[in-house]
């Protein structure tokens, strides 16, 4: 057998190997806790790449209203995601936000009649209902497809291509902004992170009704 042909075959094979390594998926496993070490649910971690991957099709997200509550209380979405706000209650709700990332309102309605809303700017959007002051929810809009929300045991998992990211963390009870940090994901071993959130307020707070009353 021709030796050079054998080497060429090897080079081609290893070239494919390098290519497949370059796009290999890496994993972040994070545990979100408070200063006492108690697990926190509803925390959102987002990994921001240096360059955002292309938008393919973005699934529509749902922020439901059931028994005078928003469901879920925390929704994480990528920028430009369309969100529907069905009202599954018998009473009408009037959904609004005054957050700089998205100001909008859906006037008194129930069922599926509200037009979907596109969230085109990253940031925190606090939702309220003009009728029910206790209704509050949070939409975290992030410039990345790589994000996840912690479960009841404070755990979350993100799969993303190996590489360098900015790590952002959100939680409704977190006072102020969580300091942005860097994270390098390697495909060799999953990254294990424990993220401690502080200071935390006792409650997530009420919807910004004071701002609303100044509007009407």
Q: Of the ranges 20-28, 123-131, 182-190, 198-206, which one interacts with Cu ion (CB under 5 A)?
A: 123-131
Question: Is there binding between residue 110 and Cu ion (CB under 5 A)?
Answer: no
Q: How far is the CB of 136 from Cu ion (least distance, A)?
A: 11
Q: Of the ranges 12-20, 54-62, 93-101, 150-158, which one interacts with Cu ion (CB under 5 A)?
A: 93-101
- Residue closer to Cu ion, measured from CB, 84 or 132: 132
Q: Which residues of 70-107 are buried (b: 16+ CB within 10 A; e: fewer)?
A: bebebbbbbbebebebbbebeeebbbbbbbebbebbbe
Contact set for Cu ion, span 128-147 (CB under 5 A): 129, 131-132
Is residue 158 within 8 Å of 47, Cβ to Cβ?
A: yes
- Residue closer to Cu ion, measured from CB, 110 or 166: 110
Q: Tell me the residue number closest to Cu ion, measured at CB.
A: 129
Is residue 39 within 8 Å of 197, Cβ to Cβ?
A: no
Q: How far is the CB of 106 from Cu ion (least distance, A)?
A: 11
- Residue closer to Cu ion, measured from CB, 129 or 136: 129
- Residue closer to Cu ion, measured from CB, 68 or 80: 68
Degrees, nearest 5: CA angle 155-73-123:
85
Strands 191-196 and 181-185, by their bridges, are unpaired
Question: Is there binding between residue 73 and Cu ion (CB under 5 A)?
Answer: no
Rounded CA gap, 209 and 164, in Å?
40
Considering only CA atoms, give the Rg of the chain: 22
Rounded CA gap, 18 and 15, in Å?
5
Q: Of the ranges 34-42, 89-97, 106-114, 140-148, which one interacts with Cu ion (CB under 5 A)?
A: 89-97
Q: How far is the CB of 165 from Cu ion (least distance, A)?
A: 38
DSSP 8-state symbol, 54: P
Q: How far is the CB of 108 from Cu ion (least distance, A)?
A: 9
Question: Is there binding between residue 95 and Cu ion (CB under 5 A)?
Answer: no
Degrees, nearest 5: CA angle 60-66-71:
45
Half-sphere exposure of 38 (CA within 13 A, CB side): 4
Q: How far is the CB of 201 from Cu ion (least distance, A)?
A: 23
- Residue closer to Cu ion, measured from CB, 193 or 209: 209
By CB under 5 A, name the binding residues for Cu ion: 93, 129, 131-132
């Amino acid at each position: 057998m021709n030796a050079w042909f054998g080497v060429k075959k090897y080079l081609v094979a290893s070239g494919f190997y390098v290519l497949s390594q370059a796009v290999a998926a890496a994993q972040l496993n994070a545990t979100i806790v408070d200063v006492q070490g108690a697990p926190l649910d509803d925390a959102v971690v987002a990994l921001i790449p240096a360059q955002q991957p292309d938008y393919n099709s973005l699934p529509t997200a749902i922020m439901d209203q059931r028994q005078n509550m928003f469901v879920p209380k925390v929704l994480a979405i990528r920028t430009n995601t369309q969100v529907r706000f069905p009202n599954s209650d018998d009473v009408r709700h009037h959904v609004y936000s005054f957050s700089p990332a998205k100001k909008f309102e859906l006037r008194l309605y129930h069922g599926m009649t509200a037009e979907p809303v596109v969230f085109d700017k990253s940031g925190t959007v606090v939702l309220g209902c003009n009728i029910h002051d206790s209704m509050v929810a949070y939409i975290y809009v992030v410039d990345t497809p790589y994000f996840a929300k912690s479960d009841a045991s404070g755990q979350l998992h993100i799969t993303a291509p190996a590489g360098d990211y900015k790590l952002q963390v959100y939680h409704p009870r977190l006072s102020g902004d969580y300091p942005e940090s860097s994270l390098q994901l390697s495909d060799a071993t999953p990254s294990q992170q424990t993220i401690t959130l502080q200071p935390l307020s006792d409650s997530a707070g009420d919807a910004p009704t004071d701002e609303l009353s100044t509007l009407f």
